[in-house]
């Protein structure tokens, strides 16, 4: 059973089947994803992403993987508890012993993660939080007797540290610090790497509040023949005080506890990567103890609260209120504030994360646009990744040229300008990646447009090259001939956006040109890319259209349809056909698939996506980042109900069956749910558990600008709501350009045009502070002012 | 308890403490190291090293690691056996359930690995062998009832396949094939990688002889909440016939067995990487069934026998006989025949492996020298690795320039010429890596010498640059100033070797020059590198000598001492001092440490080795590859006892305590045992378990050329034995240039000069076919002839 708490926490109570749900915390320097069973995935920056707890083998460094499997020796944070009177042992949170507890509550809070567990007449309360400014986990454990009798217990921390290095790894117990310090040296071979690694936090420390009765730093000896279910170490009277000498280290400490009847024991732990023992001393001084934990928790809560965003809603849907008010801005804040813990975010992601930040912290958003634009090439091309650190380099997918980054610059900048009115940014002069010449942001964008237009074939369609977006089928156009329907349409959409901004900037000639070219592109797409009932996805190097009705796999793709709506390419008849086909072929109970049917085998002429597993990642999953654009496009068409149908499926519901199917709590939107719904219904809906996704910025934008219709414009606030028709009333608080709007919506019954994909403007009347407004724009907004806005939709 | 069998097998019987010992098998395409508990490390070539069973997470691709840790989810080959009448479950060989068996025999054979296990009144016999020409494991399991009653059993294969790919992984059961096929696609991002991976064996198959009653292909569902100790799958009546769909796959099959009293059940399995199901069908046709297994085993035994080498001994030491006759040539054959399953063997290793092959298969040895020399640069420099495949590239340590490869070319070629008399090779014309110009092998070597001599400082000492050998302290000379004592001496040694060969080739002028230069180098080393009681290791970029008496760590290194003896740099007094200091500072019960004391922290002016864990790899371990050179140098000095002291410690003894300390059976020489004996006696002696080491070629050479003293020379067979003084009699069979020598040694008591490091020639008299020989050389050897040689040492 899941429930929401008033403070935004989501809690999971002991279900009959133990779920794999979890939650995550982060600060500026680190991220930790905790599974409710105790498994953990954590990274920190130095400046490249690094780990401080590992599996007991050599792990590959990759980007964070979706559907990451957990296994017995997966890194985690565990405590064993032994009743010394009867030798009964269990572990909390759940693994490794995995005895079914009497009660099990997993509480995902915005600034902390908690468990409350009852087992063997003990109530165990575990809490994890992070400090704001250090890479460290702060753990608190409370044990309360519920038997009414005095207890003799042993508490064992078991924080496995894993295989740290093939060069050097060891561990010891520091008596003064009450800490196990696991030392290592990041392996290197080349001289230059030695110097690069010199300041690495290569050691991992577990500091306890109280002195340990005994300890074991050797993973193998802690486990013994009993293994993690029945570790020899725990079943012996005392841990063996062993020192790991080039052996897999672990941080196991034993604490003898005498607990009088109904009383409580509390202890705190700090788990952190450190460069030296001195840093452990500092961490201990700063964070160890109940008072210090309380202070750190409060500070961290302040940090999370600083990212609470510009909207609060009270709709008839409690789940959506909870998510939009608490978790959505939190996830967008994570993306925009720490850039997914990467030093080379993909340009497309970085720009969209910056867009999301416009609704939370516009200064950070502005700085991100400046950073990105300063890394544009003089040719107008945007790089594949934005380097955030002087020593950063492009890694993984950023080594593959993608052709679409320029369109995102324009699309995302629009949202920033809407929200902030910061048109002054367009005059700011910035350099290039490959030139110190400084030109205005406006001119940078003009160059980006020119570059986009230069990358087209004779027909006027955009080359797809090694890949564009979301479904980078890297062999479609690697020979330099294949084209992308989506990118052609996205270019037309971006041109239309910039046309409006150019007009605003009195660049009438440019605006007229942009209108002409966008129109040309749309025309060209209609000529070459309309397959009869929907737009295809592109044309291969060999001239074969794909994503067409004669394809048995990959027959229809969502993105070209969404962007045809956004770019204005589709006429009324085409729109009608698109709505129907998307619903028929792509809609599922878990959301909109990005393509269908999933590819089950390689199509040599199309490429990579067809090698991914059906229903995952880009191969026909419910790729939320693609789905949100279809919702956005429907909202632009005025179809609030159609959009809501897509948006509302992006989160698991409060239904326990849904939780078990998807495997996650409704505290974040994952990059995908398994799709291939008609091909593999048994695994469809499963969450990727990966919370890095451009979806959240767009979800937030959809809610603010399109659903609530509270969109910024040069004159002020444009009010153009598209509420789902089943919401008759709604209240919202909107922070906007320094003012606060308390907005009250009323949607009159029977007037909604559900399922009609209506493009007709709704009859909306506005009352500001009790006075009816003559138009839909609120201008002359005073910073600091409070406005009462009533919106009547008929 | 360990025992040897007549056929060369080594068997380990159930000790009270379960050991971690294991053995390995290989064929031309693959290698598998089996731990007696069931854990496995296996690789195959396609052409880069690849795995077909993984941990359940993403593993890093690295070179094979020493002291590799095993853990619950480590890849392995296991069977669970459930008694359906009482639901008792155990697993064989031992893990994952780890119930102590009634009997446990682990038998490491040269061409197969076997277990005989008694548990729950069942006798289980497990056998693994390999085919010669395919990448596949052939498993046989026999179950025999020992209860005298009819049994109802379930047998479960549990061959975990692990996390195969983040792109695509799945598994299914093939009814026709009786097989679980786990499919995947090697992840790639760049177009070119797709094409490179196209023919990869990305799938893994487990084929059973009989149809399974049920199966489970999902790792998580097989384990359930019970985990590997009590897998839900095994405790249920039937496995769930689940299909892994982008989940970690496993190959678990259940077989219902009705066993009448005292009867036997036998089944066969094939486990292999495959490109397609068709390959599985072929494997099944070729290898499935008792007859086919028998044939494959016989063929594989023939292959192993083809590498039996050129010597058989019958000394008073049964352990040494066993090793020299069976296991040593096997290990040398592995190195020389499959090049450590690498596509870019380090040049130094490749040449030494080729040297070892001269005693086993001289044609292969010759081809390796040709391959290596053809990759020399026109400058004379040898590359850091030899590329064995057109698409191979230099990886890992081969990307770091090492300065010593040229000396190995000369040193190793000498052994090949000794053994084969193939001086014609010196006239063979070969090209360069960077030039198609062809020059003779002799001229290639001359260029190598010129290059070595050009890489010296003004004093005449060889630059160490980023590293030389065995202790590549990569920051000693990276600025281009630091020098290596060892490399200077190794150069002098190589020059002296080539001087003799030049004389043989009538190149008198060159020979005279080489003698002069070698003498100069020795003089120079004595002037700058003698520290008073031993040679130091080198001089840093900043002019600081290291490996000196004032150093508290890294005070003395073995290699400079060994090579000073070999190069003839040390005078009588220096030799005496070296013998004393090496014994005092480097000798341990587990062999000779390569340096002492081990570094415990970084010395910024020296570099990498000091970052490795004390007592491991190059940081003060008993690095057998270094130790064997000290033995070789002592043998050259005529000190058979001193050498034997070093050589005899390279293997664990039959003593069970020694086995448990070292953790390995005496079936191979590991690259190192933990050293730092005086610093960390508690972990000293532990085996690295890594059987890739240049040691074996030298060990074999020491035994043949120096201990037995049966060394080839241009005229024939030079007989110059250095038996340890406790061997009074010894028989040996020596295959040499097509003839067979039955050699009988008698060492007269009281004449040996034990511990005297005698350099005086021993009084040796020879009888050939009953006639006393006037000199120590047997000339005019007739291929095909059998000779009776009696050697009397007085």
Q: Which residue has the tokens 């994803």?
A: A33
Cis peptide before A584 (omega within 30 of 0): no
CA neighbor of A211 nearest in space, from A175, A171, A158:
A175
Closest residue in chain B to residue A599, using alpha carbons only: B168
3 state SS for A533-546: CCECCEECCCCCEE
Q: What's the gap in Å between the CA of B172 and the closest CA on chain A?
A: 14
**CA B251 – CA B157 distance, rounded (Å):** 7
Report percent pLDDT > 70 for chain A: 96
**CA B563 – CA B247 distance, rounded (Å):** 55
On chain A, the residues whose CB falls within 8 A of the CB of B167 are 611-613
Helices A558-567 & A572-585, crossing angle to 10 degrees? 150
- A104 φ/ψ angles, rounded to the nearest 5 degrees: -150, 115
DSSP label of B326: I
What pLDDT, on a 0 to 100 scale, did the predictor assign at position A752?
47
pLDDT one-digit tens code per residue, A367-377: 999 999 999 99
Q: Which residues of A are catalytic?
A: 471
Residue A755 confidence class, pLDDT cut points 50, 70, 90? very low
pLDDT one-digit tens code per residue, A302-328: 999 999 999 999 999 998 999 999 999
DSSP label of B225: G
Average pLDDT over residues A318-346: 92
End-to-end Cα, chain A, rounded Å: 39
Residue A670 confidence (pLDDT) above 70: yes
Q: How many CA atoms within 13 Å lie on the side-chain side of B552?
A: 5
Which among A57, A66, A69 has CB closest to B71? A57
Q: Which two tokens stand for residue B474?
A: 């990569």
Q: What's the gap in Å between the CA of A88 and the closest CA on chain B?
A: 17
Which among B59, B169, B191 has CB closest to A60? B59
Q: How many CB atoms lie within 10 A of CB B721?
A: 24
Poorest-pLDDT segment among A55-69, A128-142, A708-722, B271-285: A55-69
- Average pLDDT score, chain B: 92
SS3 B82: strand
Q: What's the gap in Å between the CA of A38 and the closest CA on chain B?
A: 14
Which among A65, A399, A608 has CB closest to B194? A608
Are B124 and B27 a contacting pair, CB within 8 Å?
no
Cβ distance B229 to A225 less than 8 Å, yes or no, reads no
Q: What's the gap in Å between the CA of A786 and the closest CA on chain B?
A: 51
DSSP label of B377: -
End-to-end Cα, chain B, rounded Å: 39
Poorest-pLDDT segment among A718-727, B152-161, B282-291, B384-393: B384-393
What pLDDT, on a 0 to 100 scale, did the predictor assign at position B759?
42
- Answer with the residue of higher pLDDT: B200 or B241: B241
Q: Which two tokens stand for residue A372?
A: 């990105």
Interface test with A, best of B50, B227, B399, B601 (most A CBs within 10 A): B227
Residue B78 confidence class, pLDDT cut points 50, 70, 90? very high
**CA B535 – CA B531 distance, rounded (Å):** 6
Q: Report DSSP letters for A659-671, one per residue.
A: HHHH-S-TTS--S
Are A662 and A648 a contacting pair, CB within 8 Å?
no
Closest residue in chain B to residue A681, using alpha carbons only: B245
Q: Report DSSP letters for B508-534, one per residue.
A: HHHHHHHHHHHHHHHHHHHHHTB-SSS
Average pLDDT over residues B747-772: 72
**CA A222 – CA B375 distance, rounded (Å):** 50
Which among A397, A475, A613 has CB closest to B191? A475
- Average pLDDT score, chain A: 92
Q: What's the gap in Å between the CA of B57 and the closest CA on chain A?
A: 7
- Answer with the residue of higher pLDDT: A590 or A24: A590
SS3 B124: strand
DSSP label of B425: G
**CA A280 – CA A286 distance, rounded (Å):** 10
Q: What is the reported pTM?
A: 0.93
Residue A38 confidence (pLDDT) above 80: no
Cβ distance B98 to A474 less than 8 Å, yes or no, reads no
Report percent pLDDT > 90 for chain A: 73
What pLDDT, on a 0 to 100 scale, did the predictor assign at position A475?
81
Are B183 and A602 a contacting pair, CB within 8 Å?
no
Q: Which residue has the tokens 């000091």?
A: B610
What pLDDT, on a 0 to 100 scale, did the predictor assign at position A316?
95
Q: Which residue has the tokens 């699309």?
A: A411
- A453 φ/ψ angles, rounded to the nearest 5 degrees: -70, -25
Poorest-pLDDT segment among A109-123, A692-706, B408-422, B503-517: A109-123
**CA A150 – CA A153 distance, rounded (Å):** 10
What pLDDT, on a 0 to 100 scale, did the predictor assign at position B658?
85
Residue A476 confidence (pLDDT) above 90: no
Residue A491 confidence (pLDDT) above 80: yes
Interface test with A, best of B43, B611, B674, B684 (most A CBs within 10 A): B611
pLDDT one-digit tens code per residue, B40-59: 777 777 777 777 777 767 67
Interface test with A, best of B246, B607, B610, B677 (most A CBs within 10 A): B246
Interface test with A, best of B59, B166, B229, B610 (most A CBs within 10 A): B166
Q: Which string of b and e fits A472-486 if b means at least 16 CB within 10 Å?
A: bbbbbbbeebbbbbb
On chain A, the residues whose CB falls within 8 A of the CB of B226 are 98
Q: How many CB atoms lie within 10 A of CB B327?
A: 22
Q: What distances in angstroms separate CA A127 from CA A108, A265, A331, one per listed residue?
A: 10, 14, 21
- B366 φ/ψ angles, rounded to the nearest 5 degrees: -60, -45
Q: Which two tokens stand for residue A410?
A: 């324009």
Q: Which two tokens stand for residue B407?
A: 């000396």
- Answer with the residue of higher pLDDT: A163 or B512: B512
Q: How many CB atoms lie within 10 A of CB A665?
A: 24
Which among B69, B245, B616 has CB closest to A57? B69
SS3 B687: strand
Contact pairs from chain A to chain B, CB under 8 Å: 165
Contacts by A542-548, CB closer than 8 A, 24 or more apart: A542/A481, A542/A605, A543/A481, A544/A605, A546/A476, A546/A603, A546/A605, A546/A606, A547/A485, A547/A595
Beta bridge partners of A788: A742
Residue B2 confidence (pLDDT) above 90: no
Query: What distance lies between CA A506 and its chain's CA centroid?
Result: 38
B202 catalytically annotated: no
Which among A59, A227, A682 has CB closest to B98? A227
Residue A34 confidence class, pLDDT cut points 50, 70, 90? confident
Q: How many CB atoms lie within 10 A of CB B527?
A: 11
User: Best-predicted range by mean pLDDT among A114-118, A602-606, A780-784?
Assistant: A780-784
- Out of B471, B531, B551, B639, which one is annotated catalytic? B471
Cβ distance A62 to B166 less than 8 Å, yes or no, reads yes
What pLDDT, on a 0 to 100 scale, did the predictor assign at position A761?
58
Cβ distance B72 to A67 less than 8 Å, yes or no, reads no
- B414 φ/ψ angles, rounded to the nearest 5 degrees: -55, -45
What pLDDT, on a 0 to 100 scale, did the predictor assign at position B750?
54
Q: What's the gap in Å between the CA of A167 and the closest CA on chain B?
A: 5
Cβ distance B189 to A612 less than 8 Å, yes or no, reads no
On chain B, the residues whose CB falls within 8 A of the CB of A194 are 474-475, 607-608, 611
pLDDT one-digit tens code per residue, A592-651: 999 999 999 888 888 777 889 999 988 999 999 999 999 999 999 999 999 999 999 999
Q: Which residue has the tokens 């292959």?
A: B303
What pLDDT, on a 0 to 100 scale, did the predictor assign at position B470?
79
Strands B739-747 and B786-793: parallel
Cβ distance B246 to A616 less than 8 Å, yes or no, reads yes
Residue B752 confidence class, pLDDT cut points 50, 70, 90? very low
Residue B18 confidence (pLDDT) above 70: no
What pLDDT, on a 0 to 100 scale, did the predictor assign at position B30?
82
Of all residues in chain A, what percent are helix, strand and coil, respectively (each to 5)? 30, 25, 45
């Amino acid at each position: 059973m899941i429930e929401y708490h008033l403070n935004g926490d989501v809690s999971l109570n002991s279900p009959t089947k133990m779920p794999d749900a979890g939650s995550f915390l982060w600060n500026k320097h680190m991220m930790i994803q905790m599974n409710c069973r105790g498994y953990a995935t954590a990274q920190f920056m130095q400046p490249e992403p690094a780990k401080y707890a590992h599996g007991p083998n050599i792990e590959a460094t990759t980007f964070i993987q979706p559907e990451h499997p957990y296994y017995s020796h997966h890194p985690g944070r565990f405590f064993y508890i032994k009743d010394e009177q009867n030798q009964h042992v269990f572990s909390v949170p759940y693994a490794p012993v995995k005895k079914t507890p009497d009660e099990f509550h997993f509480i995902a809070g915005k600034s902390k993660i908690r468990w409350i567990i009852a087992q063997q007449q003990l109530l165990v309360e575990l809490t994890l939080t992070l400090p704001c400014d250090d890479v460290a986990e702060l753990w608190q454990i409370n044990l309360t007797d519920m038997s009414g009798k005095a207890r003799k217990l042993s508490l064992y921390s078991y924080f496995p540290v894993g295989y740290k290095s093939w060069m050097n790894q060891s561990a010891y117990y520091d008596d003064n610090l009450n800490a196990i310090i696991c030392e290592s040296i990041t392996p290197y071979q080349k001289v230059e790497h030695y110097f690069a690694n010199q300041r690495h936090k290569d050691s991992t420390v577990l500091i306890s509040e109280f002195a340990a009765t005994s300890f074991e730093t050797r993973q193998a000896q802690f486990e013994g023949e009993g293994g993690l279910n029945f570790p020899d170490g725990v079943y012996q009277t005392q841990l063996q005080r062993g020192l790991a000498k080039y052996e897999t280290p672990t941080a196991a400490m034993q604490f003898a506890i005498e607990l009088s009847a109904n009383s409580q024991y509390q202890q705190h732990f700090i788990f952190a990567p450190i460069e030296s023992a001195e840093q452990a001393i500092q961490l201990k001084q700063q964070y160890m103890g109940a008072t210090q934990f309380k202070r750190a928790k409060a500070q961290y809560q302040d940090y999370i609260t600083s990212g609470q965003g510009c909207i609060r809603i009270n709709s008839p849907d409690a789940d959506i209120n909870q998510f939009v008010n608490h978790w959505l801005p939190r996830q967008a804040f994570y993306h925009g504030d720490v850039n997914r813990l990467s030093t080379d975010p993909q340009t497309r992601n970085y720009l969209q994360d910056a867009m999301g930040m416009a609704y939370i912290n516009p200064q950070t958003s502005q700085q991100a646009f400046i950073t990105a634009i300063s890394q544009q090439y003089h040719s107008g091309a945007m790089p594949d990744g934005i380097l955030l650190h002087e020593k950063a380099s492009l890694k993984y997918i950023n080594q593959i040229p993608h052709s679409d980054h320029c369109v995102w610059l324009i699309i995302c900048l629009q949202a920033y300008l809407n929200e902030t009115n910061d048109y002054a940014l367009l005059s700011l002069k910035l350099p290039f990646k490959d030139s110190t010449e400084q030109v205005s942001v406006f001119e940078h964008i003009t160059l980006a447009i020119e570059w986009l237009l230069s990358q087209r074939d004779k027909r006027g369609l955009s080359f797809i090259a090694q890949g564009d977006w979301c479904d980078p089928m890297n062999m479609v156009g690697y020979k330099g001939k294949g084209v992308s329907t989506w990118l052609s349409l996205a270019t037309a959409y971006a041109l239309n956006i910039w046309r409006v901004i150019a007009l605003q900037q009195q660049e009438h000639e440019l605006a007229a040109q942009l209108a002409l070219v966008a129109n040309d592109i749309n025309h060209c797409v209609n000529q070459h890319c309309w397959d009869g009932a929907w737009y295809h996805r592109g044309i291969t190097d060999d001239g074969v259209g794909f994503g067409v009705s004669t394809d048995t796999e990959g027959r229809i793709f969502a993105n070209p349809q969404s962007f045809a709506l956004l770019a204005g390419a589709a006429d009324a008849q085409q729109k009608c056909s698109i709505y129907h086909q998307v619903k028929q072929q792509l809609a599922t109970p878990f959301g909109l698939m990005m393509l269908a049917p999933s590819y089950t085998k390689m199509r040599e002429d199309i490429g990579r996506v067809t090698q991914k597993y059906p229903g995952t990642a880009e191969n026909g999953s419910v790729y939320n980042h693609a789905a949100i654009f279809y919702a956005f496009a429907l909202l632009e068409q005025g179809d609030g109900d159609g959009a809501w149908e897509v948006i509302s499926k992006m989160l698991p519901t409060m239904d326990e069956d849904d939780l078990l199917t998807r495997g996650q709590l409704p505290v974040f939107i994952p990059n995908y749910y398994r799709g291939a719904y008609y091909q593999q219904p048994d695994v469809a809906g499963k969450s990727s558990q990966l919370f890095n996704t451009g979806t959240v910025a767009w979800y937030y934008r959809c809610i603010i600008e399109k659903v609530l219709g509270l969109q910024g414009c040069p004159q002020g606030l444009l009010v153009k709501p598209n509420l789902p028709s089943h919401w008759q009333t709604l209240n919202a608080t909107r922070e906007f350009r320094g003012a606060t709007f308390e907005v009250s919506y009323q949607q009159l019954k029977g007037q909604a045009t559900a399922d009609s994909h209506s493009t007709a403007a709704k009859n909306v009347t506005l009352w500001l502070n009790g006075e009816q407004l003559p138009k839909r724009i609120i201008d002359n907004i005073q910073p600091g002012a409070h406005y009462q806005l009533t919106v009547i939709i008929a």
